[in-house]
Amino acid sequence: NYRFAKRMAGVGPSATLQMGRRAKELAQQGADVIDLSVGEPDFATPGFITKAAKQAIDAGLTSFYTPTLGLDELRRAIANNHQTIDPLSRKNVGVATGAKLVLYALMQILISDGEKVVIPAPYWVSYSQQVLLCQGNVFAVYPQNPAMKLTTAELLELDFMPKAVIINNPTNPTGALYTKDELQELIDWAAVNDVFLIVDEIYGNLVYNGAKFTSVLELSGVKDSQLIVVDGVSKTYSMTGWRIGWAIADEQIIVKMGEVLDHMTSNPAAVSQYAALAAINSDNTAAKGMREIFESRLNYSLNALEDIPGLTMAEKPQGAFYCFLRVDPAILARKKLTCTNELVLDLLDKKHVALAAGEGFDLPGYVRLSYAKDEKILQAAFARIKEYLTND
């Protein structure tokens, strides 16, 4: 019975990472597990990126701290990589150990005790947990439009002004993509009301079937603005293990973020920064190739799902690499399960397929399926899921 800090109340492990750990344990015991619960591309990091990292090691670029907010050339490359309404300089970019840490550092500099952060549900599990770790209050809103996207309608109904709003475009777990007009409305609302608008664009390069991703940087400058963009290399370049992410914002916000990171991690690993630099400076052939494969997997999955009774989607996903599926309550009742949390455990147990339960995204009654797997693996998974859902 240790006396842990008050801020740990209400904080738990990441539901998706926990499911992934369970799936791995089962696989280690010899079970033929298909893990569709985690959010990582299944491709190897492209060779030209790993080569750049090896060269950095061989050149001895590892025995010093880089600037906390990242190598100047990396910050500059990130700034140059964006089509923006105003030119960005490296001072508008702060690099850290993954977009997750970027978000956490932002919460640290923005949120004081009891301040409210609005997040549209379903949302990526770490947003709310990070707010809690900063002793802020999470205010989840549940948009009623089919794609469950935040609109100003939900914001105008609030009877308080939040300190910050977080959206994810395209969205994990739904794959929903915000249009230019929807983003513009949110930006205008945040500016008028002096609310920080954090837009997590980590899946921005992964949009499909002709859909067009608009970065908020194409709609608003960041100078003197409340707008903060979060991005990283994890999903675009299949670099989850390298842990490089960044924020783009007004210079004052980036400087503050650096002050927190000075005492947390100092710089992100130098080798990873050189790898990320190669990725960002590349012509994106490798990234485009991976995007195309995700697109065909999405279309394959949409087709296969039509043949599985009991799982439905209100809106076709347009980005990221997930399907967020509503589970027919009659299935839960028939299987004598009380919630989708129990359902994903039962499915893993009986059919060795791991999905993430909607509970982890603040929307019970749903499951999230990651299609970041080879089509053959997806085919086997869909067959098992169908069998599970149709039999007792």
Residues that bind ligand PLP (CB under 6 A): 39, 98-100, 124, 168, 172, 200, 202, 232, 234, 240, 245
Looking at the Cβ atoms of 46 and 232, the one nearer to ligand PLP is 232
Half-sphere exposure of residue 183: CA atoms within 13 angstroms, side-chain side:
24
- Please measure the distance between the N-terminal and C-terminal CA atoms of the chain and give it in whole angstroms: 42
Looking at the Cβ atoms of 155 and 166, the one nearer to ligand PLP is 166
Looking at the Cβ atoms of 240 and 379, the one nearer to ligand PLP is 240
Looking at the Cβ atoms of 105 and 304, the one nearer to ligand PLP is 105
Q: State the nearest-atom distance from the C-beta of 309 to ligand PLP, in Å.
A: 29
Looking at the Cβ atoms of 101 and 353, the one nearer to ligand PLP is 101
Stated as kind and residue range, the H or E segment containing 91 is: none
Q: Which residue is nearest to ligand PLP (CB)?
A: 98
Separation between Cα atoms, residue 148 and residue 319, nearest integer Å:
14
Q: State the nearest-atom distance from the C-beta of 333 to ligand PLP, in Å.
A: 31
Separation between Cα atoms, residue 209 and residue 219, nearest integer Å:
23
Whether 98 and 230 have beta carbons less than 8 Å apart is answered as no
Structure tokens at 245: 């992410």
Looking at the Cβ atoms of 34 and 230, the one nearer to ligand PLP is 230
Nearest to 22 by CA among 384, 381, 389, 348: 348
Q: State the nearest-atom distance from the C-beta of 324 to ligand PLP, in Å.
A: 13
In the three-class reduction of DSSP (H, G, I as helix; E, B as strand; rest coil), residue 96 is classed as strand
Separation between Cα atoms, residue 361 and residue 109, nearest integer Å:
24
Looking at the Cβ atoms of 68 and 168, the one nearer to ligand PLP is 168
Q: Which residue in the block uniquely carries the two structure tokens 């906390």?
A: 68
Looking at the Cβ atoms of 229 and 381, the one nearer to ligand PLP is 229
255-279 as b/e, with b when 16 or more CB fall inside 10 Å?
Answer: ebbbebbeeebebbbbbbbbbbbbb
Q: State the nearest-atom distance from the C-beta of 116 to ligand PLP, in Å.
A: 20
Looking at the Cβ atoms of 81 and 193, the one nearer to ligand PLP is 81
Give the C-alpha distances (Å, rounded to integers) separating 353 from 303, 315, 318, 381.
19, 24, 24, 6
Report the DSSP beta bridge partners of residue 93.
248
Q: State the nearest-atom distance from the C-beta of 72 to ligand PLP, in Å.
A: 21
Render 345-392 in DSSP notation, one character per residue: HHHHHHH-EE-EEGGGGT-TTEEEEE--S-HHHHHHHHHHHHHHHH--
- Residue 65 per-residue DSSP state: P
Torsion of CA 310, 311, 314, 315, to 10 degrees: -150
Q: State the nearest-atom distance from the C-beta of 348 to ligand PLP, in Å.
A: 20
User: Using CA of residue 338, residue 340, residue 341, residue 344, what is the dihedral sign?
Assistant: positive
Q: State the nearest-atom distance from the C-beta of 233 to ligand PLP, in Å.
A: 7
Q: Which residues contact 180 (CB under 8 A, 6 or more apart)?
A: 214, 218, 219
Looking at the Cβ atoms of 213 and 388, the one nearer to ligand PLP is 213
Separation between Cα atoms, residue 221 and residue 87, nearest integer Å:
8
Half-sphere exposure of residue 364: CA atoms within 13 angstroms, side-chain side:
9
Looking at the Cβ atoms of 174 and 225, the one nearer to ligand PLP is 174
- Residue 224 per-residue DSSP state: T
